[in-house]
Amino acid sequence: MKQGDLVYERLREEIVEWELAPGTHLNETRIAARLGVSRTPLREALHRLDRDGLVRISPGRGAFVSEIALGDVAHRFQLRDALESYAVRLCARADERSVFGALEADFLEWRDRFDAGAGAVDDTGYYALTSRLDAEVSQGAANPHLSDSLASVRQHLRRLRRIARRTPGRMALSAGEHARICAAVRAGAEEEAARAASEHVGNSLRHILAALGGSAVGGSAVALD
């Protein structure tokens, strides 16, 4: 594997995990030295991140970790809506859909757990489950271009999750919405699957916008558009 690829993945992780905060200036010399590579592969990585939208390159001034603006988040969720609802459509048309039945059961289980636990639930396993669903949707859609675009959007989602408060009520609702998507896909109900996905994305956006709009976040990190 090339150094440029490694640098790309590493920087992407650091941005998504908030080790590099939005707005920070990415000095090429300094970062290249920190990662132990020269500026050449680093610049390659920065350009890729720019295309992904995680970094904004201002010609002549340098690269900055992209800000999180409310309007931008909404726009990206629209893209997510378009891609995600189309992908589950394709999944619902696929031949082998039994795995979505299993996933539905798992999501229902988690929903009950959230309903009962009321906040005291450890949700790391839940995010592993949503990742499994994401992976199955990507694979079920059987379209590499669609999968790539979805993967890119999901990076932004991961970054947002770190600042969106996970309220227990929302978690239970989220699990229920996921279960509904799985059920529709499993049943081959294309329209219903797309609608369920679309509504889930919409609810997810509203939840995140509420979290961002509230003072919950570290203030300066979030530009209010």
In the complex, the residues that contact DNA under the rule CB under 7 A are: 2-4, 25-29, 37-41, 43-44, 57, 59-63
Provide the b/e sequence for 98-127 (b: ≥16 CB within 10 Å): ebbeebbebbbebbebbbeeeeebebeebe
**Residue from 61, 98, 145, 215 that binds a second copy (CB under 8 A)?**
145
User: For residues 10 and 1, what is the distance between their CA atoms, to the nearest angstrom?
Assistant: 13
How many residues contact a second copy, by CB under 8 A? 26
53 binds, among DNA, a second copy, none (CB under 5 to 8 A by kind): a second copy
Q: Using the minimum distance from each CB to DNA, give the nearer residue, 50 or 72.
A: 50
Region of 26-34, 113-121, 144-152, 210-218 interacting with a second copy (CB under 8 A): 144-152
Kindly report the number of other CB atoms within 10 A of residue 190's CB atom: 16
**Residue from 11, 31, 65, 90 that binds a second copy (CB under 8 A)?**
90
Q: Is 38 in the site for a second copy (CB under 8 A)?
A: no
Helix/strand/coil for 162: coil
75 binds, among DNA, a second copy, none (CB under 5 to 8 A by kind): a second copy
What secondary structure letter does DSSP report for 197? H
Length reported for the chain? 225
63 binds, among a second copy, DNA, none (CB under 5 to 8 A by kind): DNA
Region of 17-25, 86-94, 109-117, 178-186 interacting with a second copy (CB under 8 A): 86-94
Cα 2 from chain centroid (whole Å)? 26
User: For residues 132 and 121, what is the distance between their CA atoms, to the nearest angstrom?
Assistant: 19
User: For residues 63 and 7, what is the distance between their CA atoms, to the nearest angstrom?
Assistant: 15
Contacting positions for a second copy (CB under 8 A) = 1-2, 40, 43-44, 47-48, 51, 53, 59, 75-76, 78-79, 81-83, 85-87, 90, 143-146, 149
